[in-house]
Structure formats: structure tokens, C-alpha cells
Amino acid sequence: MHYFDVDAQWFVGTDGSISHHDMYDYLHFTRAGYRKLAEPLLEEIQTLLKHFATADLTLTDENSTDAADQCFLLY
């Protein structure tokens, strides 16, 4: 399990206000607000998947020529 820390500075300005462009009612995200949240989250997910695939590839039998064996752990 991984915890993704959302930095409040992504949504709170230097004066302490929240832009209505990010949260139209200052509670629910707008499309732009979700984009600010999703972009760093996507980077984190891609990094985790890269590490996951690398770990799974090290578990395969390097001497096997069977394509099913080589692809088995990639899901």
C-alpha cells in the first residue's frame, strides 16, 4: 500500500485563498482542480508500475524460451 500526499499548496494560494477555478464551490474540484490532482498522481502510478514490472521480470526464469513464461508475471 502506498500513501499519496496531496500538497495543499497545489490548491491554496499564497494569500490562503482557494481559486474558484480549482474548486467552484470551495469544496468540490472543477475539471482544472482534478487535473492538478491527477497529473502528479499519474506520475506516481507510472513510477510504481515501472517498479512493479521490473520486480516481476526479475522473478521469471531467464533460461526459459517459452513466451508464456516470459509474459506470465506482467499480467
Q: What is the pLDDT of residues 31-49, one digit of tens each?
A: 999 999 899 889 888 988 8
Q: What is the mean pLDDT of residues 13-36?
A: 92
φ/ψ (deg, to 5) at 29: -70, 145
Q: Which is more confident, 50 or 15?
A: 15
pLDDT in tens, 57-75: 665 555 555 555 544 444 4
pTM: 0.56
Hey, where are the domains in the chain?
A: 8-74
| Cα end-to-end distance, the chain, whole Å | 19
